[in-house]
Chains A and B, each alone.
Chain A
Amino acid sequence: MLTFIVRRVAYSIPVLLVASLLVFVFVRATNDPLARYAQSRDLTLRAREGLSQGILEQPCRTFTAGSPPTKAETCTKAPVLKQYWYWLSHFVQGKLGQSFVTNRAVSADIRSSFGNTLQLLIWGVLLSALLAIGIGVFSAVRQYSIPDYLFTGLSFVGLSMPPFWFGLIAIDFFSSRLSSILHKNYPIFYSIGLHGIHKAGLIAGIGDYARHLALPVATLCVQIVAEWSRYQRSSMLDVMSADYIRTATAKGLPRRRVIFKHALRNALIPLVTVMALDIGGLFGGLVVTEAIFSIHGMGALFLNALNNGDTQTILPWLMITATFVILFNLLADVIYGALDPRIRLT
């Protein structure tokens, strides 16, 4: 197992390196971080910024021009590979530089955004997993019953649902209309941010937190539950037709025990693997939910950086999300090997 993990990590490093090179070249080709100085009269600014990001390099030429005369500097542009090396060597040391949009260190921005995304992600994944497993087991045990058809139909709707539309409708109904129906002058569920602005006690604070989280988490869950419950249903059906389940039933175990102890534990193995894979992708996939509910998470950070051409933030963002995908791919394999003794990881 240990050798497997070491080997996989060793294999991931070149993948990440090549990915980082491609991403870097791609971002540099599509976005010019110095473009915002194009109209600037003071060429020293451009030179200073370019030098600090490794886009420009020495020698720089100083001259005085214009009226009134200003001191200006022009430098030669570094080749892309050199720029990449400059960026990479700083990136691996954790020196991410400063964002000109927020005027804060990029690493601080990413850390605080990551915290917010993580809250959304943990609650969303927990809720989705519970719902999906419940629905999947129920549908499999009562195959071809009316609730089974209902859940199947709903899962198709969930898979076809544009996530942002669900979010908008949820805000429209639960945040606005529900209050007026109940004759309240405050929203039952909030649609902005993760916390209220007022300090609240512990109980009130938890209530406030839940009312903020309810709609974004629900929006996040729709597609995930639809996908995972289908998966859980089919893997549960596979297990339920296995011989050892028949044996367990035949020797007179209660049905509840057969389903939950014998069948469910085995049926969970494929689902857990899929969950690990999906969660890895979710770190970059909360863009929509965060945009609709004004949550300052990783997705919002990315959109904001992108709209302002802030490559200092975009590059590490892409690399961090890519690392999570690889990490969770590895985790999926490890979990699979740990849960299923027939799989031997070498």
Chain B
Amino acid sequence: MKTEGEMNLSGATTEDKVVTAAPDLPASEISLAPLQAGANEPPARSQWNLFLRRFRRHKLAVGSLIVLVLLYLAVSFPNLTAPYPRHLPLSLPKGPNGKHWLGTDDLGNDQLTLMIYAAHLSMTIGLLVAIISTVIGTFVGALAGYFGGWVDQVLMRITDLFLVVPALAIIAVAQVGLSNKSLPVVGKISSGTLIVGIVAIVFWMYIARVVRGLFLSLKEKEFIEAARASGASSWRIMFRHILPNTIGPIVVNTTLIVAQAILLESTLSFLGLGIKPPAVSLGSMMSDAEQWVGTHNAYLIYFPGLLLLVIVLCVNFLGDGLRDAFDPQSSKH
């Protein structure tokens, strides 16, 4: 079981290559297939079916997806799944025991309950950041790659600017400056909403670069020429003809951004620059527990960190599986 999972880790197995080279037909029949069309035709397989077949073979990625979905469902309904209410009467921290499986924190709250709330916040933030930065990045990258010329120059220089200044620093400055202030248009917002907006700003550039590269090569293809010849507008060509062909790399990169965003959010919250109480995130839980390092209450650090590691690991496995499924050539090693 374990070896099989790890085999898939490092990329396509030998079976993968067989599937992509010649679907189901022995090599000798391939040349005959067009002649006997209808009689011996291989079952039609859409791209989507091929993708699903390759993805399903990636056991570790499928397992990670299942774990993530179940986990997200479980933490989304804390009323049903949490063993205790969020706030319990004040008491000293107690280690894991029969009543509190993962112990209680220094205010006497059940740690498992807190972790459920925290994981929900962390995962939601990761998802939202990924979606927002993907939308922005795709839009910018599509415009730059499709139109080229000065549009490309301007947009890519802006992208460079965002890459130059350290992301963590920009986020931190924004977070300190903007939290607890009334902003124009949106008014006063929670620390969670603020961090989604700020973190999304530092991730869109990576998507933009990928999408731009894909658009640059795809716009020279014949089917685009055909679309243009039949009078399709630029807008339609960009979003109906080119974009569907870039879905694979975009989805893979979005998945990786989810992992990065969850890590970044927890790091910020750990430094006291992210989620503010009363909201709780996995990072801020560990920030509260830092004082217990080296004591017998160190379980307050171990459990939230372990959950965070498992979540990010699953997302990364999923991303790896998606990459192989979308593009079996990409990981021939």
**Quick one: which of A30, A148, A302 contacts B178, CB cutoff 8 A?**
A30
CB pair B309–A285 under 8 Å, yes or no, is: no
Against A, the Cβ 8 Å flags (1 = close, 0 = not) of B294-330 are 1100100110010011001101110010000000000
A175 CB to closest chain B CB, in angstroms?
7
How far is A154 from B86 in the complex, measured between Cα atoms in Å? 35
Against A, the Cβ 8 Å flags (1 = close, 0 = not) of B159-176 are 011011110111011101
**Quick one: which of A15, A149, A162, A306 contacts B176, CB cutoff 8 A?**
A306
B287 to chain A: closest residue by CB: A164
CB pair B313–A176 under 8 Å, yes or no, is: no
CB pair B316–A288 under 8 Å, yes or no, is: no
8 A Cβ contacts from B202-254 to A = none
Secondary structure of the B contact surface, majority rule: helix
Determine whether B111 belongs to the interface, using a CB cutoff of 8 Å to chain A.
no
Q: A26-B173, A164-B286 are in contact. Are A157 and B309 (CB under 8 A)?
A: yes
Using a Cβ cutoff of 8 Å, how many contacts connect chains A and B?
Answer: 143
CB pair A156–B271 under 8 Å, yes or no, is: no
CB pair B293–A281 under 8 Å, yes or no, is: no
Q: Which of A17-25, A47-55, A96-104, A124-132 contacts B (4 or more CB under 8 A)?
A: A17-25
CB pair B333–A165 under 8 Å, yes or no, is: no
Determine whether B3 belongs to the interface, using a CB cutoff of 8 Å to chain A.
yes
CB pair B173–A325 under 8 Å, yes or no, is: no
Determine whether B117 belongs to the interface, using a CB cutoff of 8 Å to chain A.
no
Set of chain B residues within 8 Å of A309, measured between Cβ atoms: 176
Determine whether B6 belongs to the interface, using a CB cutoff of 8 Å to chain A.
yes
Q: Which of A166-174, A248-256, A330-338 contacts B (4 or more CB under 8 A)?
A: A166-174
How far is A238 from B178 in the complex, measured between Cα atoms in Å? 48
Q: Which of A76-84, A198-206, A265-273, A314-322 contacts B (4 or more CB under 8 A)?
A: A314-322
Determine whether B133 belongs to the interface, using a CB cutoff of 8 Å to chain A.
no
Q: A30-B177, A153-B6, A306-B172 are in contact. Are A171 and B160 (CB under 8 A)?
A: no
CB pair A31–B293 under 8 Å, yes or no, is: no
CB pair A314–B173 under 8 Å, yes or no, is: yes
How far is A288 from B301 in the complex, measured between Cα atoms in Å? 16
A303 to chain B: closest residue by CB: B271
Q: A18-B161, A30-B177, A160-B309 are in contact. Are A177 and B10 (CB under 8 A)?
A: no
A284 CB to closest chain B CB, in angstroms?
3
Set of chain B residues within 8 Å of A302, measured between Cβ atoms: 169, 172
Set of chain B residues within 8 Å of A172, measured between Cβ atoms: 293-294, 298, 301
Determine whether B9 belongs to the interface, using a CB cutoff of 8 Å to chain A.
yes
Band of interface residues on A: 35 or more
A149 to chain B: closest residue by CB: B6
How far is A159 from B262 in the complex, measured between Cα atoms in Å? 12
B93 CB to closest chain A CB, in angstroms?
15
Determine whether A296 belongs to the interface, using a CB cutoff of 8 Å to chain B.
no
B155 CB to closest chain A CB, in angstroms?
14
**Quick one: which of A143, A149, A177 contacts B9, CB cutoff 8 A?**
A149
B68 CB to closest chain A CB, in angstroms?
13
CB pair B160–A15 under 8 Å, yes or no, is: yes
**Quick one: which of A30, A169, A234, A284 contacts B169, CB cutoff 8 A?**
A284
How far is A65 from B290 in the complex, measured between Cα atoms in Å? 50
How far is A172 from B296 in the complex, measured between Cα atoms in Å? 10
8 A Cβ contacts from A4-24 to B = 15-16, 18-19, 22-23
Q: A157-B313, A161-B309, A176-B293 are in contact. Are A233 and B333 (CB under 8 A)?
A: yes
CB pair A287–B168 under 8 Å, yes or no, is: yes
**Quick one: which of B7, B165, B259, B309 contacts A318, CB cutoff 8 A?**
B165
A302 to chain B: closest residue by CB: B169
Determine whether A38 belongs to the interface, using a CB cutoff of 8 Å to chain B.
no
Determine whether B263 belongs to the interface, using a CB cutoff of 8 Å to chain A.
yes
Set of chain A residues within 8 Å of B3, measured between Cβ atoms: 149
Q: A172-B294, A303-B172 are in contact. Are A15 and B165 (CB under 8 A)?
A: no
How far is A291 from B286 in the complex, measured between Cα atoms in Å? 14
- Would you mind naming 26 contact pairs between A and B with Cβ atoms under 8 Å apart? A19-B161, A29-B177, A30-B177, A31-B176, A144-B7, A149-B6, A152-B6, A156-B316, A156-B320, A157-B309, A160-B315, A164-B270, A164-B271, A164-B283, A165-B301, A168-B293, A169-B302, A171-B293, A175-B294, A284-B166, A285-B168, A287-B271, A318-B169, A321-B165, A322-B164, A322-B166
Sort A-B residue pairs by CB-CB distance and give the 9 closest, nearest first: A30-B177, A176-B294, A284-B166, A165-B305, A160-B312, A160-B313, A149-B6, A237-B333, A322-B164
